[in-house]
Amino acid sequence: MDNTEIISSLAAKIYPRLVAVRRQLHKYPELSGQEKNTAALICSVLDEWNIPYKAGIGGYGVVALIEGKSPGACVALRADMDALSIQEQNLCDYKSMVDGVMHACGHDAHVASLLGSAFILDYLKNTFDGTFKLVFQPSEETFPGGAIKMIQDGVLDYPKVNAMIGQHVLPGLPTGSIGLKSGPYMASTDEIYITVTGRGGHGATPELNIDPVVIASQIIVALQQITSRAANPSIPTVLSFGRMIADGRTNVIPDSVTMEGTIRTFDENWRAEAHQKIVSIAKGIAEGFGAQCTVDIHHGYPFLINDEKTTRIARLAAVEFLGADKVSDLPLRMTAEDFAYYAQNVPAVFYRLGITNPLTNAPSANLHTSGFDIDENSLITGSSCMAFIALKTMSDLNESEI
C-alpha cells in the first residue's frame, strides 16, 4: 500500500472524529482574541493522540510538532480559529449557540482539517525526515491579525520553517477538489474611517446649516474616481464603503457624519499613493463646503503572494492525489488574509478547499453570510490532501538540501 492509499484510509478512519470536532467548534464559536475554549479543544485532541504542542502562542494560538525519523527540513501547516460577529440563520443541529457569533468563514473546518492532517502525519512519522509544525492561529478576522503576533512569538523559528502551507474553504468549488494560483493571489486590505463635521439644524432651513450628509455623500462619490481614474488599470483596486452614520431625523440635519470603508489592491507603492489621495480628496471637499474632515486609515494585511515553486509542488501533489480534474486554476481575489505575513517571511502556498456538494443543485451561501455552511465530506479532502502536499513539500526541501 503506497502513501496515497494509506493517507486516504487514515482520512476515512478519522473522518467521524473530525466531523464531531468541527460541529463542536461551530456550535460554540469564539471571536478573535477570545478563542480560549477553541484552543482547549485542540489541545485535548492533541493530548489524546500524544502529539506534543505549546499553547498560548500569539494569544490563544497552539503550535504542535511532529518529528520524523531523522532531522530534515521544517514545513508548517496553518489553520485559523476565530469566528465572526454574524447571527447564524441555519437550522442544523450544530447551529451556533452563541448569540451573534458564527463560524461563517469556515475556520471550524480549517481546524478540523488540520487536526486530521496532524493525525495522518503523526502516523507516518517513521517514513519521513524533518519536522512538521502545525499552527492553529487565532485572530485572523481582526486587525492586526494573529499571524503577525505568532511570528513575533517565534512561530517561524525553533525549528526554522522552510516552507508553509495554508488552506481555506471556497463555496462553489466542488467537494473533493482544490484550487490554486501561483504568484499574487489575495489583496492587501486597509480600513478607512472618515468623519465630516459641519453644522446641524432644521432640515427646512438648510441655508443656516453646513450639511455634513450632503458633503459626506459627495466625498463617497468622488473617492470612486481613485479606482476608476487614478489607479493604473493593470493594478486591481477596490474602494468600498459599507457603513455611513448620519444620526439625524427626517427634519433634523446632524452635526456630523461618519463613514467606514475599505481599500484593497496589489501594489505597495500605489497603496500608499491611494491613501494620500483619499485624505486629500475627502478633506478638500469638506473644506470647500466649510466643514471639517478627519480621515483615519488603518493599515491592514499586505497582499498575499504564493511562492511559485512551492505552489508548483502543491499543484503536482494535488494532481497526483486527487486527479487533474480535481485541481483548478484560480483568479485573483480582492479578499484579504493575514497568511500573507507568513508568505512574506518564508516560501508559502495558500490554496482553496472545495466545500460544495457536487450532487446537489443548491447554491452555496457565500463566506461571511448568515447561511454559510459546508459539505462535511470536504473534511476528508481537507485533511488528506493537505497531508499529502506537506509530505511532497518536505521531500522536495530535503532533496534540495542534499
pLDDT in tens, 361-383: 666 799 999 999 999 999 999 99
Are residue 77 and residue 147 in the same domain, yes or no?
yes
3-state secondary structure of 329: strand
Are residue 214 and residue 362 in the same domain, yes or no?
no
User: With bands split at pLDDT 50, 70 and 90, how would you rate the model's confidence at 1?
Assistant: low
| pLDDT reported for residue 360 | 78
> The CATH number of the domain where 74 resides is what?
3.40.630.10
DSSP track, 152-180: HTTTTTTTTPSEEEEEEEEEEEETT-EEE
- Edge-to-edge strand list for the sheet holding 256-265: 237-245, 256-265, 190-197, 292-299
Helix spans in 251-377 (H): 268-288, 308-322, 339-345
pTM: 0.94
Are residue 221 and residue 340 in the same domain, yes or no?
no
> Which of 30, 35, 108, 140 is an active site residue?
140
399 is catalytic: no
Report which of 305, 77, 72 is spatially closest to residue 182, judged by C-alpha positions. 305
pLDDT in tens, 51-101: 999 999 999 999 999 999 999 999 999 999 999 999 999 999 999 999 999
pLDDT at 402 exceeding the cut of 60 = no
401 is catalytic: no
Are residue 31 and residue 43 in the same domain, yes or no?
yes
> The CATH number of the domain where 266 resides is what?
3.30.70.360
The range of the structural domain enclosing residue 147 comes to 3-186+303-400
Are residue 63 and residue 126 in the same domain, yes or no?
yes
Are residue 135 and residue 70 in the same domain, yes or no?
yes
Report which of 93, 90, 104, 108 is spatially closest to residue 35, judged by C-alpha positions. 108
Kindly tell me the sign of the dihedral angle through the C-alpha atoms of 307, 308, 313, 318: positive
**Side chain identity at 59, as an amino acid letter?**
G
State the residue for C-alpha cell 491592514. Answer: 300
Q: Which of 247, 272, 299 is the last residue of a domain?
A: 299
CA dihedral 52→56→61→65, nearest 10 degrees, is: -20
pLDDT at 210 exceeding the cut of 50 = yes
| pLDDT reported for residue 2 | 74
Are residue 175 and residue 276 in the same domain, yes or no?
no
Are residue 51 and residue 176 in the same domain, yes or no?
yes
Q: Which of 279, 299, 319 is the last residue of a domain?
A: 299
Are residue 15 and residue 83 in the same domain, yes or no?
yes
**Contact (Cβ atoms closer than 8 angstroms) between residue 356 and residue 172:** yes
> Which of 35, 67, 80, 82 is an active site residue?
82
The count of structural domains within the chain is 2
Q: Which of 299, 330, 347 is the last residue of a domain?
A: 299
| pLDDT above 70 coverage of the chain, percent | 99
Residues in a beta bridge with 53: 64
Are residue 288 and residue 375 in the same domain, yes or no?
no
Are residue 393 and residue 253 in the same domain, yes or no?
no
State the residue for C-alpha cell 462535511. Answer: 376
Are residue 195 and residue 175 in the same domain, yes or no?
no
Average pLDDT value for residue range 274-294: 98
